[in-house]
């Protein structure tokens, strides 16, 4: 299980986080950080990262399938064998139907994998909590990749998401994402009741990654 408070970095398919660059970034996080971090690399890089670093690895996505006749899908067993300790589910760039989300969560529980369901508004966050994931990550799509974080632009919605999740299942942790870029954003997210942040370009696309890592961590 992931320990919180935590900073999770989604490598997406950025050119700065492919192959050897993904390994270099993950090792930089490992050597620079003193608190809890996890990363979501591209599928082909997961085994390399898990075998060469101690940073928790999460899959960016898992499809709602069982082993068998499937082509081009991401199978849970394959992701776990590659080193994934858990997965993002329903990211705004990889939406799933409710029935698919429920199946992925269920299969992950059977395999002792951490589940993080992404939600685009507080109402969806509450509904996601009813499925029993480990975390719900609240991320307004319009702020993802932007210069303004949700924790500072829409703090009242973060608070609402936290309250809705707590009302449904107080054991489900809430993460905050979209536009997070510095310690002030992280600090604001924690003060609003979340257990950490989910970000991507704020780390992956920066020049001085060590400085950014230290700065973000100081907000926890």
Neighbours of 52 (CB within 10 A): 13
- The catalytic position among 91, 160, 195, 217 is 91
Rounded Cα gap, residues 157 and 112, in angstroms: 31
Do 12 and 177 contact (CB within 8 A), yes or no? no
User: Active site includes 61?
Assistant: no
Rounded Cα gap, residues 148 and 116, in angstroms: 23
User: Active site includes 91?
Assistant: yes
Do 4 and 36 contact (CB within 8 A), yes or no? yes
- The catalytic position among 30, 34, 85, 139 is 139
**Catalytic residue positions, numbered:** 91, 139
């Amino acid at each position: 299980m992931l320990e919180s408070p935590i900073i999770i970095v989604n490598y997406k398919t950025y050119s700065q986080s492919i192959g050897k660059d993904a390994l270099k970034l993950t090792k930089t996080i490992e050597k620079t950080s003193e608190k809890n971090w996890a990363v979501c690399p591209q599928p082909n890089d997961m085994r390399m990262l898990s075998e060469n670093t101690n940073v928790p690895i999460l899959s960016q996505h898992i499809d709602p399938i069982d082993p068998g006749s499937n082509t081009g899908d991401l199978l849970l067993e394959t992701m776990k064998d590659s080193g994934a300790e858990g997965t993002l589910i329903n990211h705004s760039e990889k939406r799933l139907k409710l029935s698919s989300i429920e199946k992925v969560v269920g299969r992950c529980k059977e395999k002792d994998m951490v589940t993080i369901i992404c939600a685009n508004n507080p109402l969806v966050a509450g509904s996601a909590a009813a499925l029993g994931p480990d975390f719900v990550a609240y991320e307004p799509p319009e702020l993802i990749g932007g210069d303004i974080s949700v924790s500072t632009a829409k703090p009242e919605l973060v608070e609402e998401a936290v309250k809705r999740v707590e009302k449904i299942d107080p054991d489900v942790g809430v993460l905050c994402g979209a536009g997070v870029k510095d310690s002030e954003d992280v600090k604001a997210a924690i003060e609003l009741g979340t257990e950490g942040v989910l970000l991507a370009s704020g780390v992956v696309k920066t020049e001085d990654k060590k400085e950014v890592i230290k700065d973000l961590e100081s907000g926890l």
